[in-house]
Amino acid sequence: MKKYAIYIGILTIGLLLGWVIFGNSTNKEAEHNHNETVKSDQKWTCSMHPQIMKSEPGDCPICGMDLIPAETSADGLLADQFKLSENAIALANIQTSIVGNSNQKDNFIKLSGKIAENEKSNAVQVSYFSGRIEKLNVSFTGEKINKGQLLATIYSPELYAAQQELITAANLKETQPKLYDAVKNKLKIWKLNEKQISQIETSGKVIENFPVYATVSGTVSEKLVEQGDYIKQGQPLLKIAKLNTVWGNFDVYENQIKNFKKGQQVLVSTNAYANEEFNGKVDFIDPVLNTKTRTVVLRVVLNNKNNKFKPGMFVEAKIKNNTANNNNAISIPASAVLWTGKRSVVYIKPDTSKPVFEMKEIVLGKKSGDNYEVLEGLQNGDEIVSNGVFTIDAAAQLQGKKSMMNKIGGKVMTGHEGHLGMDNNSSKKETVHLNMNERLKVSAKFQKHLKVIYNEYINLKNALIKEDSKSSSTSALTLVNNLNKVDMKLLSDKKAHNHWMKLEREIKSSASSISETSAIKVQRDHFKYLSTHLMNAVQLFGINEKVYVEFCPMADNNKGAFWLSKEEKVINPYFGEAMLTCGEVKQVIE
């Protein structure tokens, strides 16, 4: 028995040792295999060339730098969804709204226009006889004159001779009354009144420099002659406007014409009197369509007894939409929509609890006030970006997602994709020139305005490179002032006009923020948004100049940021002397 007990003890100890040794080894092997599996899923990329993606560490085939572990997303995002940080959303003032049925009780159509003189009340002061202007009593355009006021004195050889005839005929009127009447009527045709004719007869003296009096009251809108000019009979001297009533001329697109009719009530407002609205009525709708702008002129007559409206002043009209949209229609703010070619796109927030966004194409219906009817693409309850939509679109472009200008998605071409397998020592390089196949057509004059803005942006960029915050603020303020000088009438195409309105607002917001601070870091934070908005503007409209789009992956806390440049050489505005040459050319806009 004792012998068996010893055998059983030895067997038990052996089993325990075997379990400890081999069982632990199996666990370690399983754990090791698991770790190997995890590591095998790890991807490696280049910090300077994020398009490089390898399954194992090594050197970048483009620049030779050591590859670093690529971040793996655990967010479960779909291919065309992307995420923004809360800080980026706050800086760009991105706002969202919930899509719903239109519940507006009063639907108004807004029109933009200008104040013009009432042509029905205008008059032209002419000379009724030829001669030389000896003295002109009207000093400047805008001067008010009253009926009967002395305007000028004129020396007229013809009138001089006619006065002598009158003096001679007056002495013969008893014997030759017909001759006297003929001479007298001749002077009346030249607008001499009875008092003047009687004065010449009585005195027997000829008036050498004859006075010209105003025939109407009003404001001088244009001087057509100067003192010393020789004028002909019937030649205009002055244009006189009666500004007690004025016209408001508004542009109506052809798809809106059916919404208007003569006699409609109109509410007119202007920036000069921000808190006031003025009543008027539709007086005239031009029967001829302007084929260049695809608009007709709608005219409103406005009372101007208080002289508040000045010809040339910009005004806005609100007219009730008698064909308002069905209350069951889905309505979204106009600020949420981006157009490119025939496409209309918005950005939605699929999960209201997360800062995740995705582009969606939609089909629009009629515009009512500041809202559009949506025929296809959205449902009630969808959350869309209603403010800062261009910033969202720029973020989508940066992350290679579907965007306004890139309906397919994918990383922005860098110029290196065509030679990834080339030797690092090769001197051959290639730059991909991305021509915008959906660029909007605008006038050369508008492109010239945009180029002025772009040149001031370059001055701002150069100031940031030098870390000169004072010059940065000055250039940003000048940029804002140049934006205000852009004439919206140069954008006759509706899509181009709407695109520019949104881009202009975003550019102005970023530039204003730069001008209002002296902190170079804050200026650079806003500069990256200014750059993306201006890049979109240059892509959409063009400036007839080659523009280099450059990118630094280290900027914005390693998230990367773009800037625009006149030259291919990279000089980084985000770090100053510390990293002047960090970055590369990502795109060339022709």
Which tens digits make up the pLDDT trace of 176-233?
888 888 888 888 888 777 888 888 888 888 888 888 888 888 889 889 999 999 999 8
Domain 123-241 has CATH 2.40.50.100: yes
Question: Cβ-count burial of 266 within 10 angstroms (0-12 exposed, 13-18 middle, 19+ buried)?
Answer: buried
CA distance 381 to 362: 15
Sorting pLDDT into bands at 50, 70 and 90, what band is 420? very low
Domain 108-119+243-320 has CATH 1.10.3450.40: no
Question: pLDDT of 369-407, one tens digit each?
Answer: 677 888 888 888 889 998 888 778 877 876 777 787 666
CA distance 153 to 208: 9
Averaged confidence pLDDT in the chain: 79
How many of the other CB atoms lie within 10 Å of CB of 484? 8
Question: Which class would CATH give 81-106+326-409?
Answer: mainly beta
Domain residue limits, the chain: 2-41, 42-72, 81-106+326-409, 108-119+243-320, 123-241, 419-589
pLDDT of residue 428: 32
* DSSP tally for the chain: helices H, then strands E: 12, 29
pLDDT of residue 430: 33
Question: pLDDT of 548-563, one tens digit each?
Answer: 988 887 787 777 788 9
Query: Mean pLDDT over residues 503-520, rounded?
Result: 91
**% of the chain surpassing 90 pLDDT:** 21
Closest CA to 412 of 383, 437, 432: 432
Could you give the 3-state DSSP secondary structure of residue 197? helix
Asked which of 11-15, 141-145, 356-360, 517-521 is least confident by mean pLDDT, the reply is 11-15
Closest CA to 316 of 370, 263, 365, 371: 370
